[in-house]
Every structure is written in C-alpha cells, then in structure tokens.
Amino acid sequence: MPSPAFHWHALTPEEVTKEWEVDLARGLSVEQAASRRERVGPNLLPQAPRDPAWKQLLQQFINPLVLTLLAAAVIAAVVAVLEPARGHSGLSRFSDVIAIALIVVVNALLGFFQERRAAKALDALQKMAAPTAKIRRDGGVVVEPASVLVPGDVVELDTGDQIPADMRLAETADVEVEESSLTGESTSVPKSARALCSEEAPLAERSNMVYMGTSVVRGRALGLVVQTGASTELGHIGTLMATTKEEPTPLETRLAVTGRWILIGCLVVSAIIFAVGFLRAEPNVAMLLLTAVSVAVAAIPEGLPAITTITLALGMQRMAKRGALVRKLPAVETLGCSTYICSDKTGTMTQNQMTVRAVSVGGHRLEVEGEGYKPIGAFLRGGEKIDATQHGDLQLLARAVALCNSARLELKDGAYKVLGDPTEGALLTLSAKVGQARDQLLESHELVREIPFSSDRRMMTVIVRDPEGKEHAYLKGGAEKILPRCKWVRLAGERVPATEANLHAVLDDADAMAARALRVLAVARKEEVGDDPEDELELLGIVGMMDPPRPEVRDAVVVAHKAGVKVVMITGDHRLTAVAIAKELGLWGEGDVAVTGAELDDMSAQLLEERVSRVRVFARVTAEHKLRIVRALKSRGSVVAMTGDGVNDAPSIKEAQIGIAMGQGGTDVAREAADMVLADDNFATIVVAVREGRAIFRNIQKFIFFLLSSNAGLVMLVFATSMMDWASPLTPLQILWINLVTNGLPALALGVDPPEDGQMREKPRGVAEGLLDTRAYLGMVAVGAIMAAAAVYLYSLCPPHRGETPDEHLGHMIHARTMVFCVLALSPLFHTFNCRSRLNSAFRGLFSNRFLWVANLISAGIHLLTMTTVLRPVFQTTPLTPAEWGLVLGLSALPILAFEVWKLLIRSLGGVKATAVADAS
C-alpha cells in the first residue's frame, strides 16, 4: 500500500485508483479489505489514556499542605498513645487526630468530585464520524459501519451524508460540502473530481477532496478512501488534543506557591520550637511533639481549599445566569487575568448566517439592513429608507432569487433556519424582506426545469412557468459568468441594451462590494426561453453578501480594550474577508497586520513569537497554526483565552489557559475541550465573564488575607508561649475549630463580596504577580501580632498559684485557655470588615454585603455552643463572667480599630489620589 502521506489532491482519480489497486466499479474484495484492515487498523479516532478513579483520588493527597496535616495527625496519635492520662479517656484522647484526619478526607473528596470529569472531547470526535457508509465491495453496494473502511475502499455519497473518511473524489455531480467545522469557511464549498490542486494547496482549497466529519449539502459523488482513523485530518486533530497537556491555571499556580511558603514557614517555626526545647533539656518529648502539631494546625489554613472551591462554584452559578457555563472551576478566575482573547471569526464574532448587505439594482446602490436569516430589514439608498414594495426593479430581482433557489427558510423554536446552502438562504431572506417569499411564489409559479450550479459553470438556472402559462428563465451566478451573456440591462424600470458603459458601471459596483469582502452574485432572466435559456439575458442586478458580525461584538471589543485585553481574530477564511470584518468590529488599528497560514508556515517559532503581538488577524489557518499561535502568545507570558466553535478550534481551545466554546452553534468537540461554554453564543458574554473573573480573584485575595492573618495570630501565640515555656494556650482541636468552623463562614461571605468599581478600567494582573503583595503580608503580620498580644495578655491573667493542687492548676489553665479561645475566635469576625478594602474605611458600605453579617452572627453563635455544658468536656472550656466577656469583646475589636487608624493615615498622606486609587481597586 502507498504511504498515507501522499498528496492525493495533486493526483488524478486514475492515478489514485492505480496507487490503491482498486476498480471503481467493483471496489475492493472482502479479502482485500480484511487484509488492509489488519495492517492499518479500524477507522477509529485516537483516544487519550485516562487515569482510573483510584489514582485521581490518590492525587488529592499528594499536596505539601495535606501531607503536613497527615504528618501532624500521626504525631498527635503518637502523643495520645504515649500520654494517655491527660484528662481524657477512650476515643476523646484521639479527638485531635480524628478532627485533622476528617478535614484531610473532606478536602480530598471535594477535590476528587470536582475534578472527576471525563475529557469527553475524543468521545465527541468519535460521534462525529459517520456511523455507516455505502461501500462498493465485490461489485455490489453494502452498508457497513464506518469503522470497517480501509484505504482503497470506494464509497458512494449523497446529499445529507456525513463523510466517513478522507477521500479523493473520483466522480461528482453538482457536489457542495459543508466544511466550516473543519476549516472555518462560512459557506459550503463546491467540489469537483476533475479538479487538480498543487501539492502546497491548503486544506480549505483542496476542491477534489472530502474529509471525515464534514457533510454533503448538495449533489452526489463517488469517493476513494485515502486515509482512515488517526491518519485523517480529523484524526490528526484528535491526536493533537490527546497530546496536548492541560497546564495549571494562574490561580492554581498562585495557590501552590502560597501553599509552599506556608509550609516553609510552618517547618521553620516548628524547628525553632524543637531547638529551643532541646536546648532547655525539655524532658517531655511528647509535649514538644504536641506543640509542633499545634503549630502545623495553626499555620495551615485547612479551610482554604474548600472555601476557594465553594467561592469558584458560586461564581460559576452567577456566570451561568449570564449565559456562561463554566465546566472547570479554576476557569472562573482565570478569565479575569486574560491578556489575549483569540477568537474564531465564523460563528463567534460573526453569526455564521450569510446575509445580503448590498444590492445594485435598476441603477441604484442599496444597503440592506437586518441580521441573519430573519426576514426583517430596511433598504436604504443614500442613507435614506425606501419603500421596497414600490421598487419595481428590486421586486423583480427578489422574485428571481427566490425562484432560482433550492433552499428552504423555516421558523423553528423562535429562530429562522435554512435547510440547504447558506448562500441561497441569504437570497431567500432578501426576497422575503421585499415581500417575495418563495413559498407564496410557488403557489402561482411552476418549476419546469433546473440546470444546477456546478463548480465549472459557476451559475444556476431554473425554467419557471408563470400563471399565464409563459415560461421564463431565471439565473444567478458569478458576475464574470453572467455579465458576458447579457444582451440587456434593467435600468430605472426599463429594459435597455447592454453597453460597455452600463456593464462597466455594474462591474464598478461589484468591485466596490468585493472591496468590502462581500461575496458578489449576478442575477438575470430571459423572458422567452427559446433553445438556449442561458443566452441573450437581461441583467437584473447584483447582490453582495457576507457572514455579518454579531451586533454586540463591537461594544464588547471596546470594553475588552479598555480592560487591557487584546482581541485577535483567528479564522480559516480569506485574509480580505477577515480584515474587513476586523475593521467593522474595531479590531483593526494603525500598524496592525494580517498573517495567513502559508506565511505562518514560513515563520520559525522564534520569529512568530517576535511578531505575534502586532498581528490582529490570522487568516487561512489550520488546527496546527492555531496551536502555534496560542503557544507563541503563552511563551511571551500572555494569559490566553481561545474562543471557537468548530472541530478545528478544539486543540487550541484545550491548549489555551482558558478555552471558550459556543453552546448553540458549536460542535461537541469544541464544547468538551473548553473550560467555558457560551450558552447564548454571545461574544459580549465573554466580557461579562472577564468582569466576574476579576471580581472573584479580588474576593479570593480578601478571604486569603483574612484566613492567613487570623492564622498568623494563632502561630505567633503558640510560638510566643513556647518561647516563654508556658503550656500550650490552645489544643489542636480548638485551633481547628477556629480555622474551619468559626472562620470558615466569614471567609466564604468575603468570597461573594460585591464587585468594586473600576475593575474593568484596570490592566490585567501579571502572570508572575502573587496572590498577595508585600503590603498585604505586612498587614497580616500586624493583625497577627495584635491578636497574639491580646491572647498572651489574657493567658497571663490566670497564672498558677503556690500550693494549688494539680486539679486546681488544670482548672486555672482551662479557664485561661477559654478566654484565649474566645478572643481568637471572635477577633477575626471583627477583622472581616477590614478585609473588604485596602484603603476604604470598614464603615463605608458597611451593610452592602449582608451575607457577611449573617456569617459573622452564625459563627459567633456556633462558637458560643462550645461554652455549653454538653461541649465543654470536648473543647475543655469553662463559663466566663460578664466582666471577662466584656474584656474579650474589647480586645477582639482591636484589629478593626488599628486598621481604621492605618487606613486613615494612608488616605491623609495620599489625599485625593489615594481615595481615587481606593475607588478603582
């Protein structure tokens, strides 16, 4: 068998059949097919290996913070075994161990179920492959699963068939193929078996080839299979997707860095405590271990993974209400730091619905309003609306394009859709706008004969019998084919002889339309058919059409630019068409350039990285080109959002940090590869998602600052008391309770804090930018020091007395611990209001986040439960007097008082400028 790397499009059908040793009439024999299938395998697409469930669950525990907590649980268990007489009995001795282990398991299960999503993109690719094919075998035709196809098989194709493999066409009859999902072309493509292409011809220009995953929209053909399975163009895309690795999102990277620093700090503090203990010749090694466990539990924000997950999930729900369905949680935040949106043109920036935008008729140039296939829109001449029903020449042209048409326009589920060729759908919409609907015309006109469009003729003719029994011919096609056949021209309601001057005027109009990237068709008729219905015609006019931009995209592009996000168009369409759309959308500016796929092939990776920042349009590109573009932008440190809807978009969607697919017009492949799906196919929804992503990141910063500053107080307290050779002021269980239960709900409420003004006027944050800056870390130390100082003061109020019994000593220590426990549980609740803004007073917009008030009240109430008779033995607490409660509350409010003074000082020093920055932040 020949190599699958042959340039089959550069060979004639006879040369291809000779290479594959097959007779077109008989096809392969059953034995030949079986032998080849054994060599090349079934006609199936490649699948990426998937991790089993147990491995996915195990990966949740392979995390430095989680492993540290597990080590702390083991140490706590050892201490519980070695020191059984600590006032506990039975399982209560292991309460710390159970609490730590429970937290680890819950976090692991949350992560497991969140990440337990199958990468279904390759499954969707499998579904796209045609399930059956009409195959010539041993002189007969059999219908078999497409998976049995082998190179050399002869396949019959009809209108509506999906292409089951890559094939060189051997015979064609008026064939057009829909390839937009593979090439990005917005119109169906004529195919001809007689065409020959150069070896360098890009996929979109191989007019003698058809490819797996595309479909026949017109005509019949006979195809010779040349590539199957992974060797097909669709299979190549599947291979690219299978080998494309998912990289961590910026948020995941930042959280990992933060986690490593927390771990390092935890180990350093623990090491110092151990060193000091040994220098003091501390005899109780178990207590040293228990102190180390307390430091680990105090330093690690155990609730951070769960709170981050819940915050992102809530953001996901808000986005869903706006039409953005997020499939992967970190993508909610990633959008907020995007610096580039690489958008497919067809179906994403445009409507993927051909629309007539201009008409030259009766000597008048008319602009046509309206979008898509909806038959509503005005006609303008010189900017003024005209009454289309009173324009006789326009009425005649509309009747011609309605009758010379084989498509159907129908209303389904509130939207107009076209059954058939998109170009003919645009012409049907035009005629309906004029009041010449095809269905109504067919009630009084009879179609006698049709001479179909072909790639050679480049025109279509129908013979129609009118209500009076007269036969007329109506034609449409390329201007270069129609105009030379015209003897007459329709001008100002009259038929006048075609002259060089009036035909030249029509060609000028056609050139003006082409310069706007409109596809131009000429329309003509012949009143008396005669022997040749395509000769001595009367030119009725020309129409210019295009796949128009979505009306809301231009405004969305403006907002994106203000937010510092660059928008780049990537399309399989022609350069001229793409640049015209880019200019209409406001993407194109002075100094911008457009690059084609052929030019990309001549660029090295280094050259592309140097030039990619100036390119606003990439045209005639393939799946490999799109991957190169995304990778070039990423290599420059950009955070790339890639949007698209076709099969050809899927690998680059998966490669980008944030992949976005269309929900209505998109393919299953693109949707399954994406992080986010636009349910309304609305480009403007992306900008809404960017705004939401920025708000979510800001809120994540708020609750991380809150959690870490609260933990800093716990760590400083444990460290200070160990340095003073005091007994541990809190048990590991009390620390866990503060970290998870008391602080958990307020942190979650900060995660849904309302967005601040000015976020969409800021530049995207840098990739290397950490979750928190130096000022935030200094603030954490300050808050931690205030909380720790208050706790140390309370702990010092209950020193041991001379002569007291061990039980009395234990009672004093428990009472001191209770006050410390209360102040470290309640002071973070006051601190939450500090965390809402770095410069604005906590009292500004005090009640704008009602969830924060509810969360603080619930947390305070839950903490009071530990003071009840039932839970006192578990948490080792005692009742407090009213005076002690007053002292605890006063000390708990110190962080908010200190921060108010600090913010006031900054605002006073910065004046108006600081206030403006605060508002923008």
656 contacts 340 by C-beta, under 8 angstroms: no
User: What helix, strand, coil percent values describe the chain, rounded to 5?
Assistant: 50, 20, 30
**Cβ–Cβ < 8 Å for 545, 518:** yes
- 463 DSSP β-pair partners: 449, 473
DSSP letter, residue 824: H
Q: pLDDT below 50 — which residues of the chain?
A: 85-90, 117-126, 128-130, 911-921
Are 205 and 149 a contacting pair, CB within 8 Å?
no
- Which residue pairs, CB below 8 angstroms and at least 24 apart, start in 499-507? 503/539, 505/363, 506/360, 506/479, 506/539, 506/542, 507/479, 507/483
Question: What residues are annotated to the active site?
Answer: 344
Going from the C-alpha of 813 to that of each of 83, 239, 291, 626, 771, the distances in angstroms are: 18, 66, 16, 67, 39
Average pLDDT, the chain: 82
* Structure-block tokens of residue 111: 């992560």
pLDDT at 118: 35
CA distance 367 to 752: 48
Distance CA 593, CA 616 (A): 6
Residue 498 three-state SS: coil
The residues that bridge with 476 in the sheet, in sequence order, are 460, 523
- CA dihedral over 757, 762, 767, 771, signed as positive or negative: negative
Residue 251: which of 765, 785, 897 has the closest Cα? 765
C-alpha to C-alpha distance for 861 and 585, rounded to whole angstroms: 55
Gap between the Cα atoms of 638 and 630, Å rounded: 9
Contact in structure between 831 and 794 (CB atoms under 8 Å): no
State the first-to-last Cα distance of the chain, in angstroms, to the nearest integer: 66
H helices present in 280-416, as ranges: 285-299, 304-321, 331-334, 392-403
724/382 Cα distance (integer angstroms) = 89
- Specify the pLDDT at position 667: 65
Q: What is the pLDDT of residue 918?
A: 37
The Cα-based distances of 562 to 556, 559, 682 in angstroms read 10, 5, 19
Pair of tokens at residue 268: 């350093």
The pTM of the full predicted model, rounded to 2 decimals, is 0.67
The sign of the CA dihedral 677, 682, 687, 691 is: negative
Q: Considering only CA atoms, give the Rg of the chain.
A: 36
Sheet holding 615-619, edge to edge: 324-326, 676-678, 658-662, 640-644, 340-344, 566-570, 615-619, 593-596
**Which tokens sit at 259?**
């986690």
Cα distances (Å, whole numbers) of residue 768 to 140, 169, 479, 638, 765: 65, 52, 56, 11, 9
pLDDT at position 136, please? Answer: 94
Inter-residue contact 575 to 594 (CB < 8 Å): yes
Write b or e for each residue in 865-891: b if 16 or more Cβ atoms lie within 10 A of its Cβ, otherwise e: ebbeeeeeeebbbeebeeebeebbeeb
For 686-745, the DSSP string reads HHHHHHHHHHHHHHHHHHHHHHHHHHHHHHHHHHHHHHTTPPPSS-HHHHHIIIIIITHH
Residue pointed to by tokens 């002259």:
499
Question: Which residue's structure tokens are 């400028």?
Answer: 913
pLDDT of residue 914: 39
How far apart, in whole angstroms, are the C-alpha atoms of residue 515 and residue 314? 48
Angle subtended at Cα 573 by Cα 375 and Cα 43, rounded to the nearest 5 degrees: 105
Residues 6+ apart with CB under 8 A from 580: 516, 517, 546
How many beta carbons lie within 10 A of that of residue 226, not counting itself?
24
Strand 215-227 to 355-361 pairing: unpaired
C-alpha atoms less than 13 angstroms from C-alpha of 48 in its C-beta half-sphere = 22
pLDDT digits (tens, 9 = 90+) for 605-636: 999 999 999 999 998 887 788 889 999 999 99
Q: Is the dihedral of CA 165, 169, 172, 175 positive or negative?
A: positive
Distance from C-alpha of 903 to C-alpha of 909, rounded to nearest angstrom: 10
Strand (E) or helix (H) holding 768: none
Find all residues with CB under 8 Å of 362, minimum gap 6, and list them: 391, 392, 393, 394, 490, 491, 492, 493, 541
Q: CA 739, CA 708: separation in Å to the nearest integer?
A: 10
Task: Identify the helix (H) or strand (E) that includes residue 634.
Answer: helix 623-635
Task: Classify residue 283 by its DSSP letter.
Answer: S
Instruction: Write out the H or E segment, with its range, that includes residue 821.
Output: helix 806-831
- Write out the H or E segment, with its range, that includes residue 207: none
How far is residue 390's CA from residue 264's CA, in Å, rounded to a whole number? 82
Distance CA 238, CA 182 (A): 12
Phi-psi region of 229 (alpha: psi -120 to 50; beta: other; left: phi over 0): left
Q: Under 8 Å CB-to-CB from 143, ≥6 apart: which residues?
A: 132, 133, 134, 135
Per-residue DSSP letter, 362: B
Q: Give the C-alpha separation, 264 to 723, whole Å.
A: 20
Contact indicator for 76, 100 with CB cutoff of 8 Å: yes
Residue type at 900? E
* Residue 231: DSSP 8-state: G
Contact (Cβ atoms closer than 8 angstroms) between residue 338 and residue 690: yes
Q: Which helix (H) or strand (E) holds 173?
A: strand 166-178
